[in-house]
Amino acid sequence: MSKHDTPMMDDLEKGPWPSFVSDLKRQAAKSPQCWDILGQMEQSYKDKITHWKHGGIVGVFGYGGGIVGRYSDLPDKFPGVAHFHTVRLNQPSSKFYTTEILRKLCDLWEKRGSGMTNFHGSTGDLVLLGTKTDELEPLFYDLTHDLNWDLGGSGSNLRTPANCIGKSRCEWACYDTDAVCYAMTMKYQDEIHRPAFPYKFKFKFSGCPNDCVAAIARSDLAVIGTWRDAIRINQAEVKNYISGANKPNGGAHSKGSKFDIQKEVISLCPTGCMWMEGDTLKIDDAECTRCMHCLNVMPKALRPGTDQGATIMMGAKAPILDGAQLATMIYPFIKLDAENEFEGLVEIIEKVWDWWMENGKNRERLGETMQRISLPVFLRVLEVEPIPQHVKEPRSNPYVFWREEEVEGGWERDVKEFRKRNAM
Amino acid sequence: MAMSKEELKAAILDKAMKSPKPQLYVKDFYACDPDAKPRDVKNAANDLVKEGKMTFWSSGSTTMYAAKGRAKDEESRGT
């Protein structure tokens, strides 16, 4: 039985989609505080302001992340959500769960919290929504001792690393995203659990340029699988696509019309690096920008090359303080080797952190620091030689300049001598 | 020459107690020892939290440090 009159919330149950309002009402049968969430949201819709105060000193002992304090500014009216803290859990790599662990987690969360969850937050964490301060330490004890499960990152910490499904299921993965994500999560436990930086820092690991974890848009340091040799072409399967024996896109988006390789693949190549010679598909691999369109349309015919590794991009962010920013390509290709514990990647990460910790302003993401201080300086710090691919196109953003020591004769010149040849 | 870890911790705690702002970012402590590496300052501040002399305050997206008792505490404000 509803505790508050919530006509605007009730309206959100009327569309054709699953409704979080219906979910909350169902959960309220077990967790009465869910009525107060609905009541407070209705109040916010009426007042057109949030009634959540965020932030606080709550946490579990020894940790400086993973718990986000949440308080209602109308605690007398909605006592069930007077304290309603969020708990972030480190999701397993690729988000593989067993039913058994999920049942145990749900039982624990109904005992210690509201029972409401969010699978998953945009960083990737499994999010438990709403508990009281007194329940935090017992919840943490049960999570770590009974479920062998740890908290994720929040605040100015390394945020919980996230990866795509990678080689565990996907034939396009150019490196083992599960292995790298797990290795970095374990190596940087201190940075995940205790604040270290001017602001949040996110890693994301995508196995191929399809970028299923949106690393290029969301992470300060994106590791995106790629290859540096030629796309593998199976010409017999190309012919099967052309004849209609193979369905393009694995049968998705099919409108029943005959597949037209010229219209649906070759003409859509952003660099125009593909063409047909008779019934043979040709690719000028040096011009390929890894858009993945041809591989996605014809997966039986085209596969990534065999010399595989990753491109490292940096500086992406969602729009919180400044506008949204996509990542900038910094290292076109590195090898990722589990045998040496991914030392090439570790070296890059720590060089970036050292520079950003020293130069980043409070609440400034890496991408904002890069933009403020300039890409040439950033490349110099990382000891990366500028290459044409660092620049979108000449003249529209010519932000890589020569330095005096790189120019023969430096900046000094004899003006009189110059004027003899170039009169004013 | 950089301070010893204990000297650095004492300087951080002193700043946290005397600063007009009750909550400070980790970068605000860099000036306690200009010769110390940012990572050492961070580790010293985190040690002080473990020892119960300082506390974290987090909005969820960013984290600040405060001397024990100085942080804005919603619960002690009766919410």
Confidence of residue A393 (pLDDT cuts 50, 70, 90): low
Q: Is A83 on the interface with B (CB under 8 A)?
A: yes
Per-residue pLDDT at B79 exceeds 50? no
Of A118, A57, A117, A64, whose CA–CA distance to A83 is shortest? A57
Write down the pLDDT at residue B33.
94
Q: Quick one: average pLDDT of A285-306? A: 96
pLDDT tens-place string over residues A9-48: 999 999 899 999 999 999 999 888 999 999 999 999 999 9
Q: Quick one: average pLDDT of B49-56? A: 93
pLDDT tens-place string over residues A200-211: 999 999 999 999
**Hey, are the CB atoms on A71 and B57 less than 8 Å from each other?**
no
Q: Is B49 on the interface with A (CB under 8 A)?
A: yes
For residues B1 and A215, give the distance between their C-alpha atoms in angstroms, rounded to a whole number: 41
Q: Is B17 on the interface with A (CB under 8 A)?
A: no
pLDDT tens-place string over residues A369-381: 998 998 889 999 9
Beta strands A302-303 and A126-129, pairing class: unpaired
**Percentages of chain A per state (helix, strand, coil), in multiples of 5:** 40, 15, 45
Secondary structure (DSSP) of A77-92:
T-GGGSB--EEEE-PP
Chain A residue nearest residue B44, CA to CA: A196
Domains of chain A: 7-146 (3.30.70.2500), 162-224+311-406 (3.30.413.10), 232-303 (3.30.70.20)
Mean pLDDT of all residues belonging to chain A = 92
Chain A residues touching B72 at Cβ < 8 A: 55-57
Confidence of residue A394 (pLDDT cuts 50, 70, 90): low
Chain B residues touching A197 at Cβ < 8 A: 26
Confidence of residue B71 (pLDDT cuts 50, 70, 90): confident
For residues A103 and A100, give the distance between their C-alpha atoms in angstroms, rounded to a whole number: 5
CATH topology of domain B5-67: Arc Repressor Mutant, subunit A (1.10.10)
**Hey, are the CB atoms on B71 and A354 less than 8 Å from each other?**
no
pLDDT tens-place string over residues A61-105: 889 999 999 999 999 999 999 999 999 999 999 999 999 999 999
Write down the pLDDT at residue A395.
59
**Hey, are the CB atoms on B26 and A198 less than 8 Å from each other?**
yes
Nearest Cβ partner of B58 from A69, A83, A196?
A69
pLDDT tens-place string over residues A176-197: 999 999 999 999 999 999 999 9
Write down the pLDDT at residue A106.
96
Write down the pLDDT at residue B66.
93
Q: Tokens standing for B3?
A: 């301070």
Q: Quick one: average pLDDT of A380-388? A: 92
Looking at CA atoms only, how far is residue B29 from chain A in angstroms?
Answer: 12
For residues B56 and B49, give the distance between their C-alpha atoms in angstroms, rounded to a whole number: 7
Looking at CA atoms only, how far is residue A197 from chain B in angstroms?
Answer: 8
ipTM: 0.91
Write down the pLDDT at residue B24.
94
Looking at CA atoms only, how far is residue B58 from chain A in angstroms?
Answer: 5
Confidence of residue A199 (pLDDT cuts 50, 70, 90): very high
**Hey, are the CB atoms on B63 and A86 less than 8 Å from each other?**
no
Write down the pLDDT at residue A399.
62
Q: Quick one: average pLDDT of A109-118? A: 95
